[in-house]
Copies of this chain bind each other. A is one copy, B any other.
Amino acid sequence: MIKRSMKKLTPLFNPQSIAVIGASRTEGKVGNTVLQNIIKSGFKGDIYPVNPSGSRILGLRCFKSILDTPKEVDLGIITIPARTAVKAAEECGKAGVKSLIVITAGFREIGKDGLALEKELVGICRDYNMQMLGPNCLGLMDTTTPLNATFASKFPKKGNIAFISQSGAICTSILDWSLKKGIGFSKFISLGNKADLNEADFIRQASDDPVTKVVLCYLEGVEDGRRFVNIARKASRKKPVVIYKSGATQAGAKAASSHTGALVGSDISYETAFRQSGILRARTMMELFDLGMAFSTQPVPHGNRVAVVTNAGGPAIIATDFIESSGLTMARFQKGTIDALRENLPEEANIYNPVDIIGDAKEDRYTFALNAVLKDPGVDSSIVILSPQAMTEPVRTARSILELKKQFPEKPLVTIFMGGESVEDAVNLLERHGTPNYPFPIGGVSSISGLYRYSKLQDSIPEKEEPDFERDRNRVKEIFKKAREDRRHVLFGSETTQIADAYGIPVPPARLATSPDEAVRFAEEMGYPVALKIASPKILHKTDLGGVILGLESPEKVMRGYTKIMENVYRIMPHAGIYGVDVQKMMPKGRELIVGVTKDVQFGHILMFGLGGIYVDMLKDVAFRLVDYLPESEIEKMIQETKAYYLLKGLRGEKPADIPSVVDIISRTAALVRDFPRISELDINPVFGYEKGALAVDIKITISR
């Protein structure tokens, strides 16, 4: 898998020769449409129609079998029904075909039989070392090659946006829409069932493609979460990767899995993984393409300071609102800029940002004001708003904007020409020459915001963490081994205490006592007060069964407490299989935090941090991270995202808590889980943060077989 995936996808996107298996003379059949599309797209290599009954199709010599073609074939496109498609794939393998697009449906998406067939197909691809796109896809297009290897009726305008879609219908809709809007693409890929090649392969390929400037994806799920993250992190360092991921809600996820049969993880895991991969997540399809247009045409800004030039107050106020609420800020002009604006604009104009050049502004006033703010070093990007009024000159203004843009190539500039017919020609002019126009303020602002977010994201993709602290792996291994022998999944408190100890995670003293006397002895050794907790593999909710007693301050109370717990538990769960009672020293209360780890089916272990105690469930004030990419700097960011951070910094004159000690506990916990991936759940609740130090008070660990 890994070996294969390192290969370039050249035979798919830029083949020397293509065979269409199932090529047909009948207009309207997929095998006919695909062949026509390849020819019409201007593909320059050899094209071999393959059909057992054929002689010539669409003017090309037809071959009875793939084995008959005169030269080696780089790309085989299979359009025949599923069962025969598998056989055809095998023949392709024998004929030395390098890659396949299987357009045919009727595989995993139709159920068990289809899945079996799909597995067979993948096996063949592996055996013959063929890369495969599909099955159950529309195919792919490349405007550079050029090649239209799909059965879609249209071919995109040439451009620098790569679009990768898990839905074929979204491909056709977007293609149709893009032609009307004049948006160009470098590649257009319909992923289908992703049986072999998946989003990760195509994201990597697009990120290495010199023509592509931005990668847009529509996804319903990812195929192999950890590989995806690994690849996406590298890709997003090279160029922006923007993803719209559907199936975020439960009902949406149901619809998504009935659609493609994909195993869809929870939305939090996607959010976390995308973030740690430097991926920009679009919240709507519109935003996906707004961002696409922006990245396709604009540079990444050096900062978040935006200037607005407008001939109308209302839309400027709206834009200002969005600027302030989307991580951007209104630029403050230098004195020179303000003076120049004051001298040259009418008295009623607003010379501060937003620069309101008033309703009767013609092209010259726009040019002057825009030039002045673009020259200002305090401006990182700019937005020009135009509302069609009596004196307005939309087309002349557009031309002038395009000229100015050439002089300031390092500053993003987008326009918001609002209206219909009155601005239509100007908008067309702007968009044809690489200035995206948005009909309402929100689109323009969210594009600039996306450009800026990307500039920050790139710096902040966390590195893989390899901690250098010492830890006693063998001790942990021993404990796991013993639990496995006992067929226990939940570790005892005394065991988790030892594990924490082996990894340098500070914990209160705790030991497993098997008699009241032993409990008293342990309590005397560690000092009062102590807590007693039942130790039994069957009992998860100890408190509910009366299995926990807190705050015992004398030998007598410990003695009585032990007996009481045993009575409680025997009464309710006589066959629980009790190992004894954990004696734990009670520590002074600190600021209550929680650290937890769960294992996500897609992305592996995810660590959670947040406010602890009784507020956990109520407030859900938590942040998440993949454990694989968790250097201390990232842990600090994670803490800062939560409201618990305010608690740690000290509320109302309290002294701050020892945040580095909390970071250390999280870092060591992450290392533990990385070292022992069999840990399926881990909960430290609470972690106490003190003015000096921090303590993992109660640790629960569950392991899988």
Given the complex, which residues of B lie within 8 Å of A329, measured CB to CB?
A: 251
Interface string of A355-392 (1 = CB under 8 A from B): 01001000000000000000000000000000111100
* Closest Cβ neighbor of A439 among chain B residues: B177
**Total residues of chain A contacting the partner, CB 8 A:** 87
Q: Which listed residue, B544, B619, B652, touches A643 by the CB 8 Å rule?
A: B619
Q: Which listed residue, B254, B314, B325, B330, touches A169 by the CB 8 Å rule?
A: B314
Given the complex, which residues of B lie within 8 Å of A418, measured CB to CB?
A: 170, 173-174, 176-177
Contact yes or no, B252 A320, CB < 8 A: yes
Q: Distance (Å) between the CB of A619 and the closest chain B CB?
A: 6
A250 to B422, CA, bound (A): 33
Given the contacts A350-B258, A387-B170, A330 and B421 also touching, CB distance less than 8 Å: no
A221 to B129, CA, bound (A): 67
Q: Distance (Å) between the CB of A364 and the closest chain B CB?
A: 18
> Does A166 reach chain B (CB closer than 8 Å)?
yes
Q: Which listed residue, B167, B313, B324, B651, touches A617 by the CB 8 Å rule?
A: B651
> Does A532 reach chain B (CB closer than 8 Å)?
no
> Does A549 reach chain B (CB closer than 8 Å)?
no
Contact yes or no, B419 A177, CB < 8 A: yes
Given the complex, which residues of B lie within 8 Å of A324, measured CB to CB?
A: 249-252
Contact yes or no, B313 A259, CB < 8 A: yes
Contact yes or no, A317 B169, CB < 8 A: no
> Does A74 reach chain B (CB closer than 8 Å)?
no
The segment from A82-90, A178-186, A483-491, A576-584 that touches chain B is A178-186
Contact yes or no, B314 A387, CB < 8 A: no
> Does A218 reach chain B (CB closer than 8 Å)?
yes
* Closest Cβ neighbor of A284 among chain B residues: B442
Contact yes or no, A181 B420, CB < 8 A: yes
Contact yes or no, B441 A285, CB < 8 A: yes
> Does A572 reach chain B (CB closer than 8 Å)?
no
Contact yes or no, B177 A420, CB < 8 A: yes
Given the complex, which residues of B lie within 8 Å of A341, measured CB to CB?
A: none
Query: Which residues of chain A from 102 to 157 have a CB within 8 Å of any chain B CB?
Result: 110, 151, 153
Interface string of A422-445 (1 = CB under 8 A from B): 111000000000000001111000
A354 to B321, CA, bound (A): 37
Q: Which 4 A-B pairs have the closest CB atoms?
A: A167-B314, A169-B312, A180-B420, A176-B419
